[in-house]
Structure 1
Amino acid sequence: MARATDPGSELPEPTGTDTSPPPLSHRRILEIVWALVLCLFVSSLSATVVGTALPTIVGDLGGQDQLAWVASATLLTTTVSTPLWGKLSDLFGRKKLLFYAIGVFVVTSALAGLAQSMGQLIGARALQGIGAGGIVALSQAIMADIVSPRERGRYTGYLGASFGVATVAGPLIGGFLVDGPGWRWCFYVGIPIAAIAAVVLHRTLKVPAVHVAAKIDWLGATLITTSATSLLLMLSLAGIEFDWASGWTVALSLLSVASLIGAVFVERRAAEPILPPRLFQVPTFRLAGIIASFLVGVAMFGAMIYLPQYLQVVRGQSPTMSGLLTLPLVVGMLVVSFLTGRAVTKWGRWKVFPLIGLPLMALGALLLSRLHSETSMVYASVAMVVFGAGLGFTMQTLILAVQNTVERRDLGIATSSATFFRSMGGAVGVAVFGAILSSRLSSEIPRLLAERGIRPPAGSLSDQLGTPDEIGLLPEAIRSVVRDGFSMGLDSIYLVIVPLALIAFVAVLGIREIPLRSSQSDAVVESEAEAIEAVGRAGV
């Protein structure tokens, strides 16, 4: 059992294979961090850059009915592959695996740009998501390898910034490329950036070679992947390709549950499980890595996916302008993320920040629920800043908390699992919020038409709700009804986010905080309970 030796709760040096690389200089760490930021930026950009290009892609390749899968295929494979990359990196080393992930991303990006049919493009995008999943999982884990938990806050803000910048820059870059060299460059644009990042990492990242003589748990990996894939397919397709109350929904749900039960059985008996059951014995992993991360994913993706809907449909802004108008959210997230990282490093404490951030997210969502067609953009910007600040306090801090309370041998899988649950939350949130929006539109638009004495247009409701440009071509009276209906539906989405953020707050509140270790070579204790006991004995 590990014991604290001083009020700083530093733990004894690790033994055996639980070794750490020599401390790196601040300059060398920054070089590595910026290379990781470039990797994360291009992986995030691959998901956001195609939005403005989709109409042109469909016009060139055809396949209107497959349009959604150009984006969904990448999200699906990114999510399900993340924990597999994390576990494999624990067994075979993160640097080697990251280069493999970058290689997969580069090759499949080129294949996507060369696609001659929608089927080829969707297949390339699915494989591209596998590479992106590796980049996301391993970048966070490498950061944990090279920087102690206490100092990590200084650098994690950069990683979080890459996602926010890609969210805003993606539509802008996509629009520029479609109007310029063509939509295929939406997939080519990340290749040179990823290549530069790989060269920098090869030159600067020096970590011990790792190879654990263990049999890979392929059965557990298959069952976990099947469970997650079935759930994501059901959430992505229900209400679009088939009804929510349909045989397909039931079949995919049963397959997901059965695979999950099988995975639990297999993982409890595997010599080297893909998702070690011992992680679930760590309270911080359960509360911060699973519950809070999942709910933050729901809230984050709900805000970021549906804010452009408000700006484009309700306010009539162009895709490019809507991207610019979401800058307050991104700026709030980036600034607070940087300041939070500095404060974490200075004080060695993390819990207070999500306890501030999650109520801010709830408040921001409540403010966003008041948006309508005549709302001042100053008010909308303030609401976005508040929500973004809440994310900045919370998102990276939860991962840091998880990393601080697991054994080094589980660092990769613990980090990637927290990311996995956040991505799963995002997928669930997008599906559930989409259902809420569709339900409100189906009820509110007919009601508003009748209330205002407007004769309903010919055809079904879905025929009238196309792209924002198509909605903009509707007669003024009908367009006003559609915009008000969208505003009411989006209000419901943001109101749902409020209690979810507060539930995450309660989950974090229940965590017994362990001060961040101030040395990368500090041993990681056998369980969080022992760490708490050790800290108590040291008088912390």
Structure 2
Amino acid sequence: MAESGGIMSSDAPVDQAQLSATEKHEEEIQVAQPETFKHSWRVWCVFLVLCLLSFISAIDATIVTTSLPTITRDIGGSKEYVWIVNSFLFTSTVPQPLFGQISDIFGRKNPMIFAIALFAIGSGLAGGAQSPGMLIAARTIQGLGSGGLYVLSDIIVCDMVPPRHRGPYLSAILSTAAIGTTIGPIIGGALALKNWRWIFWLNLPASGLGFLAIVLILNVKYKRSPTWRHALARVDFLGNAIFVPSMGVKGVTPLMSGVYFLAFALAIMPFGGMAGVFMSKTGLYIPLHWLGFALSAIGIGLFSTLDENSSRAACIGYQVIASGGTGIIFTATLPSTLAALPESDVAVATGTYSFVRSFGLVWGATMASIAFNGEINSHIDSVSDQTIRNLLIDGGAYAYAAVQHGGISDLPEPSRDQVINIYVRALRVVWWIVTSISVLGFLCTFIEKHVELRKSHSTEYGLADKESTTNSLEKGGEQVVSTVSENT
């Protein structure tokens, strides 16, 4: 070897040989996809498991909403009920970018197994909770696992499927999540009549099935870090440390409210599916953004015209329009986000996107509640009964709408009409706010630049047989050792 003062020369043959062997090794562990994407049985199996995991994690975001009165009567916590819901929402949102970074270091399989385990442990503890504090802690653990399931499902789909063909897959996963979110209150209300603990325990068999499927089927190639120090150095601990701490009118029951909302969830699937097919066939996504925001603005704008006398057909029809916009936007957003990025940035970018989407859910609910409560307070004088005014003011209107006995439908006239009128006025402002956001998104599509969706991709994290992965790694290591020995 050529040396100078004990330091290897930069043009020494051994360095070139090592570099060549290393580059060849890296090429071998990458999965180069053919021009024509093939839907293998393993792709379908992994995809169905991801849909299942997305479904059960989405259910738990809303399943306690109709069962909270039953739960709090059993274990207490009437004052802490907000945190039983929000602890899950916040903890499922915050860790998503971190899961994206970790999946680049440890591959997709191990973080997914860890996320499933967290979700299952949290579900088991929640089902056995004997106090509000234990239930909140269990929901926190459950939320951390759910956050991993959200982001890793999208990442794995992007690893398996080229950009041009991702739309239908992502649409199906988002659609199952949307259905889970919608039927959650229905399932929760039904189970609460029997035994509320099964609301959480039902997650255990589904988690077990998902766990086994991921362990047995999801064989993924990834580039191991040479040392733990090198691996941990790739995690943005400072950024995450700073980032994490910074985060009814119709007179029907909450259960029936969930049933009414089914139209919105079910309409997401066909619209999202059609958007995915269109994107796969044409490679275009800007027209989908334009159409999605337009439908969303129109549908939600029509919501503001609804009142207690509106027909069921109007309620369902307007939901379908708004849902169509949501399904199209959800399907077309992630593929277009990743279009301009190399495959090496898929995990981090998907984690960030997934966080922003979930963060939007949290802030959307927060903005809506602030506007709703503000409008109630502003017009509270229109209710003549002082006792009822005290029940509605300062955030009480939201909880009062969910009261089944002695609620709005049981009020005497004219108090009933007065209360319904104030709810309609408050909700109308909420719809106007959401409509304005959709209009802003619509206007932004006119300055959006198109980036071509690739029909093939090369990734270090694609599906591979365990045997071929091991052989490839061993072969690459032998080449480097052999080359170093020969040149030394």
State the TM bucket, normalised to the shorter chain. 0.7 to 0.9
Secondary structure of the structure 2 residue equivalent to 1:371: coil
In the aligned structure 2, how far is the partner of 1:515 from the partner of 1:199? 37
Secondary structure of the structure 1 residue equivalent to 2:284: coil
Q: Report 1:87-166 matches (<5 A).
A: 87-166=101-180
Q: 2:473 aligns to what?
A: none
Query: Of 181, 197, 214, which residue of structure 2 is paired with 1:201?
Result: 214
Query: Of 64, 75, 96, which residue of structure 1 is paired with 2:89?
Result: 75
Residue 383 of structure 2 corresponds to residue 367 of structure 1: no
Q: 1:242 aligns to what?
A: none
Query: Of 188, 200, 205, which residue of structure 2 is paired with 1:192?
Result: 205
Q: 1:490 aligns to what?
A: 427
Residue 69 of structure 2 corresponds to residue 55 of structure 1: yes
> Would the alpha carbon gap of residues 476 and 29 (structure 1) be closer, same or farther in structure 2, given more than 3 Å must change?
farther
CA contact (8 A) 1:151 1:345 kept: yes
In the aligned structure 2, how far is the partner of 1:65 from the partner of 1:223? 34
What CA deviation, in whole Å up to 9, does each residue of 1:93-115 have, x standing for no partner? 01111011001111111011111
Q: 1:336 aligns to what?
A: 271
Residue 183 of structure 2 corresponds to residue 169 of structure 1: yes
In the aligned structure 2, how far is the partner of 1:222 from the partner of 1:72? 25
Q: 1:536 aligns to what?
A: none
> Would the alpha carbon gap of residues 345 and 171 (structure 1) be closer, same or farther in structure 2, given more than 3 Å must change?
same
Q: 2:378 aligns to what?
A: 443
CA contact (8 A) 1:144 1:152 kept: yes
> Would the alpha carbon gap of residues 217 and 381 (structure 1) be closer, same or farther in structure 2, given more than 3 Å must change?
farther
CA contact (8 A) 1:329 1:388 kept: yes
TM-score, normalising length: structure 2:
0.82
In the aligned structure 1, how far is the partner of 2:299 from the partner of 2:437? 13
CA contact (8 A) 2:168 2:272 kept: no
Choose 131-140 or 373-382, whichever is displaced more: 373-382
Secondary structure of the structure 2 residue equivalent to 1:216: helix
Q: 1:456 aligns to what?
A: 386
> Would the alpha carbon gap of residues 224 and 478 (structure 1) be closer, same or farther in structure 2, given more than 3 Å must change?
farther
Secondary structure of the structure 2 residue equivalent to 1:25: coil
In the aligned structure 2, how far is the partner of 1:145 from the partner of 1:404? 14
Q: Report 1:241-320 matches (<5 A).
A: 313-320=248-255
Query: Of 347, 363, 369, which residue of structure 2 is paired with 1:434?
Result: 369
Q: 2:232 aligns to what?
A: 216
CA RMSD after TM alignment: 2.3
Opposite residue 479 of structure 1, the aligned amino acid is R
Cα offset, 1:80, TM superposition: 0.5
Q: 1:479 aligns to what?
A: 416
CA contact (8 A) 2:60 2:181 kept: no
TM-score, normalising length: structure 1:
0.74
Secondary structure of the structure 1 residue equivalent to 2:94: helix
Cα offset, 1:220, TM superposition: 4.2
Cα offset, 1:404, TM superposition: 2.3
> Would the alpha carbon gap of residues 334 and 183 (structure 1) be closer, same or farther in structure 2, given more than 3 Å must change?
same
Cα offset, 1:14, TM superposition: 12
Choose 399-408 or 119-128, whichever is displaced more: 399-408
> Would the alpha carbon gap of residues 52 and 210 (structure 1) be closer, same or farther in structure 2, given more than 3 Å must change?
farther
Give the structure with higher Rg (CA): 2
Q: 2:59 aligns to what?
A: 45
Opposite residue 215 of structure 2, the aligned amino acid is H
> Would the alpha carbon gap of residues 394 and 318 (structure 1) be closer, same or farther in structure 2, given more than 3 Å must change?
same
In the aligned structure 2, how far is the partner of 1:137 from the partner of 1:516? 21
Residue 416 of structure 2 corresponds to residue 499 of structure 1: no
What CA deviation, in whole Å up to 9, does each residue of 1:502-533 have, x standing for no partner? 2222333322211211013289xxxxxxxxxx
What CA deviation, in whole Å up to 9, does each residue of 1:114-145 have, x standing for no partner? 11110011011111111000000100000000
Q: Report 1:319-358 matches (<5 A).
A: 319-358=254-293
Opposite residue 193 of structure 1, the aligned amino acid is A
Secondary structure of the structure 2 residue equivalent to 1:65: coil
In the aligned structure 1, how far is the partner of 2:159 from the partner of 2:414? 59
What CA deviation, in whole Å up to 9, does each residue of 1:233-275 have, x standing for no partner? xxxxxxxxxxxxxxxxxxxxxxxxxxxxxxxxxxxxxxxxxxx
What CA deviation, in whole Å up to 9, does each residue of 1:339-361 have, x standing for no partner? 11111111122221111101110
Report how many aligned residue pairs link the two structures. 424
In the aligned structure 1, how far is the partner of 2:326 from the partner of 2:388? 44
What CA deviation, in whole Å up to 9, does each residue of 1:2-25 have, x standing for no partner? xxxxxxxxxxx9965882266753
Q: 1:386 aligns to what?
A: 321
Residue 42 of structure 2 corresponds to residue 28 of structure 1: yes
Cα offset, 1:225, TM superposition: 4.8
CA contact (8 A) 1:86 1:412 kept: yes
Cα offset, 1:458, TM superposition: 6.8
In the aligned structure 2, how far is the partner of 1:368 from the partner of 1:459? 26
Cα offset, 1:85, TM superposition: 0.4
Opposite residue 207 of structure 1, the aligned amino acid is V
CA contact (8 A) 2:98 2:240 kept: no
Cα offset, 1:403, TM superposition: 2.2
> Would the alpha carbon gap of residues 455 and 35 (structure 1) be closer, same or farther in structure 2, given more than 3 Å must change?
closer
CA contact (8 A) 1:21 1:146 kept: no
Cα offset, 1:459, TM superposition: 6.8
Secondary structure of the structure 2 residue equivalent to 1:315: coil
CA contact (8 A) 1:80 1:225 kept: no
Listed as ranges, the gaps of 5+ residues in structure 2 are 1-23, 461-488
Opposite residue 265 of structure 2, the aligned amino acid is V
> Would the alpha carbon gap of residues 136 and 458 (structure 1) be closer, same or farther in structure 2, given more than 3 Å must change?
closer
In the aligned structure 2, how far is the partner of 1:103 from the partner of 1:434? 33
In the aligned structure 2, how far is the partner of 1:223 from the partner of 1:378? 49
Cα offset, 1:217, TM superposition: 5.3
Secondary structure of the structure 1 residue equivalent to 2:458: coil
Cα offset, 1:147, TM superposition: 0.6
Secondary structure of the structure 1 residue equivalent to 2:414: helix
In the aligned structure 1, how far is the partner of 2:419 from the partner of 2:338? 47
Opposite residue 25 of structure 1, the aligned amino acid is H
> Would the alpha carbon gap of residues 206 and 475 (structure 1) be closer, same or farther in structure 2, given more than 3 Å must change?
same
In the aligned structure 1, how far is the partner of 2:335 from the partner of 2:29? 19
Choose 93-102 or 394-403, whichever is displaced more: 394-403
Opposite residue 439 of structure 2, the aligned amino acid is L
Cα offset, 1:223, TM superposition: 4.4
Listed as ranges, the gaps of 5+ residues in structure 1 are 1-12, 233-312, 524-540
In the aligned structure 2, how far is the partner of 1:422 from the partner of 1:508? 18
Cα offset, 1:479, TM superposition: 2.3
Secondary structure of the structure 2 residue equivalent to 1:317: coil
